[in-house]
Chains A and B, each alone.
Chain A
Amino acid sequence: MIRKMNGPWWFLTPYVVLFATFIVIPVLLAIGLSFTYFNTIETPEFVGLRNYIELLTRDEVFMQHVLPNTIRFAFIVGPIGYGMSFVLAWMLAQIPHRPRTLLAIVLYSPSMTAGIAMAVVWTVLFSGNATGYLNAWLLNVGLVQEPIQFLTSPQYLMSIMIVVSLWGSMGVGFLAMLAGIMNIDQTLYEAAYMDGLKNRWQEIFYITIPSMKPQMLFGAVMSVVGTFQVGAIGVQLSGANPTPQYAGQLMVNHIEDFGFIRFLMGYASAVSVVLLIMIYSISKVTFSLLGERD
């Protein structure tokens, strides 16, 4: 039978079916449901743009907390994580093979941990009483008199979320950029210096980045997606959805809050659609920013 298998559909059908079922249909369904009132028991009722209008005009939690939090989180974690990935990859490329491999594995390892599996570390590290490592240390050094409620007080939660996310931001994009730098033709640099390249900054901007632009773009997409993917972290850290005073509430948590806690599936779907559009537009903007250096 294998001898007769010609034609692309032998190869494509399984992927296309699974891709359509678990990615395309859910996205289309989310778009469809976002125009309905759906409480999971009755059949969805068409309500036009009401969910979107409510989201943008009536949902105070969304406008005052969720959206600003998401934007703040994304605009800090995304660029810094991406920049860190590039700089570290750039440095790793310039050291010998053995230490490079070792250090690359160490730096990549956080992204292999499941978010939930690591929650224990953060809860112990930032625990709100004196047995928390950070509190114990701060008390010991004398910086504070009373242990700080890191995970339940609104003013610290977001910062901790950002640090934790940055800790795990050297993922697939980081590996891609490292591979990209490693594969740049060494003679390009030599030639460029003969042509009057003056310093390492020029070198990075005129040779390194343009030569590995495809990997830079891939890394950018991975970092945008990664940033929105880790959104659940605030709920894991504080152990509550909604997070204390909505301090760590991101769009992903808002979706869960409305979908699985209040069973307003139509409304939750509208939030999902807004989130997908945001991810898409941010990726596009990143592309055009990086693309301009051609």
Chain B
Amino acid sequence: MAKFSGMKINPKHFHRSQIKFFIVLIPMAIFVSLPMLFIVSHAFKPMNELFAFPPRFLVRRPTLDNFRNLVSVAANTGIPFSRYVFNSVLVTSVGVFLSILVTTMAAYALSKLKFKGKKLLFEINTLALMFVPIAVTIPRYLTIARLGLIDRYLVLILPLIALPVGLFLVKQFIDQTPNEVIESAKIDGASEMQIYLRIIMPIIAPAVATVGILSFQLIWNDVVGSTLYVDDESMKTLSFYFSTLASLVGNPVAGQGMMAAASLIMFVPNIIIFIFLQNKVMNTMAHSGLK
């Protein structure tokens, strides 16, 4: 019998046999992270370094000028920077909360409750995994206009709440939870809503975190809502303001520094949340399979 020499999943320690993986992975990671490092470095460059020729990748004398400019350019357009921040934080926090609530409730019903059309509903949702919102921008706009949602905060949130991928992931996750717990709670007289709130929610915390991250990325980064559905400048979000920078700042080079600073502001919350929750995301993804 040959000694077992195959794949070792999740090894405890470093071993020479792993070197070949690191040889691929580390250069790959460096290549992938270069644009990120560039953003960080560029965001802190003073004007003369932005203009420097030949261009230097790393910043020499970091300043916060670009960030200050972001604030002052916003003030020139008549909308204070803090207003954009407020809008983004409001819309994102309400949106993420609602998305988690709506998605997990639906997932619980699809996983554990019995009703007519359950299979069909799940299949339609699975089909919607292939949905590309950008393809139906126009009819979506027409629907929203007809509903009278134009120029309301809600329009920045509502279209992004029902997340087929989120429902799919949570439903698969809830499928793994034992029915016995639910049954015994029912015998004790708990309603389905109570079971969902007190038993299911704590168990599915990883899946909740995952939906939270996905919907955070979607809403925080969203530009379409502010561009198309809202005319009132004071209701638009940070991501929208940043997307207009190129046209607001006449000087393209000075604009670059500001845009790098803007990209950094957009990116940092995403990465921090992901780093904190990555364990939970991986836990959820383990049940992500399409069967």
Interface residues of chain A, those whose CB is within 8 Å of chain B, are 2-12, 14-16, 18-19, 21-27, 29-30, 33, 87-88, 91-97, 99-101, 103-110, 112-114, 116-125, 130-133, 136, 140, 167, 170, 172, 175-176, 178-184, 186, 189-190, 192-194, 197, 200, 203, 207-208, 212-215, 217-218, 221-222, 224-225, 228-229, 231-232, 239, 252, 255-256, 259-260, 265, 268-269, 272, 275-276, 279-280, 283
Contacts and interface: CB of A to CB of B under 8 A. Distances in A.
A228 B135 CA distance: 9
B220 to A, nearest CB: 8
Given A15-B102, A200-B6, A232-B134, A26 B139 contact: yes
Given A121-B39, A228-B134, 20 more contacts: A2-B194, A10-B105, A22-B162, A23-B162, A26-B139, A95-B21, A96-B13, A96-B14, A105-B271, A106-B33, A109-B274, A110-B36, A117-B262, A121-B38, A203-B6, A213-B289, A214-B291, A218-B288, A229-B134, A283-B130
Contacts of A175: 281-282, 285
B106 interface: yes
Interface stretch (B22-30, B68-76, B78-86, B177-185): B22-30
12 contacts: A3-B193, A6-B191, A8-B115, A12-B110, A15-B162, A25-B139, A91-B24, A103-B29, A131-B53, A140-B54, A252-B135, A260-B138
Contact of B11 (A3, A96, A184, A255): A96
A112 B7 contact: no
Contact of B223 (A91, A114, A197): A114
B147 interface: yes
B143 A14 contact: no
Given A2-B194, A112-B274, A95 B22 contact: yes
B38 A259 contact: no
Chain B CB count within 10 A is highest, among A104, A179, A186, A213, for A179
B132 A269 contact: no
A5 B194 CA distance: 8
Nearest to B282: A179
Given A109-B32, A110-B35, A221-B130, A259 B191 contact: no
A42 to B, nearest CB: 14
Interface of B: 1-2, 4-14, 18, 21-22, 24-26, 28-29, 32-33, 35-36, 38-39, 42, 51, 53-55, 57, 101-103, 105-106, 108-110, 113-115, 118, 121, 124-125, 127-132, 134-140, 142-143, 147, 158-159, 161-162, 164-165, 167, 191-194, 196-197, 214, 217, 221, 223, 239, 242-243, 246, 253, 256, 259-260, 262-263, 266-267, 270-271, 274-275, 278, 281-286, 288-291
Contacts of A190: 4, 6
B135 A275 contact: yes
A221 to B, nearest CB: 5
Contacts of B113: 7-8, 11
Nearest to B144: A22
A18 B9 contact: no
A94 B285 CA distance: 18
B143 A22 contact: yes
Contacts, number: 329
Contact of A94 (B11, B127, B130, B256): B11
Contact of B263 (A23, A92, A121, A125): A121
A197 B9 CA distance: 17
Contacts of B281: 175
A225 to B, nearest CB: 6
A259 B143 contact: no
A26 B167 contact: no
B7 A178 contact: no
A150 to B, nearest CB: 15
Contacts of A269: 138-139
Nearest to B129: A221
Contact of B55 (A12, A136, A214, A275): A136
A103 B131 contact: no
A157 to B, nearest CB: 18
A120 B263 contact: yes
A120 B38 CA distance: 10
A2 to B, nearest CB: 5
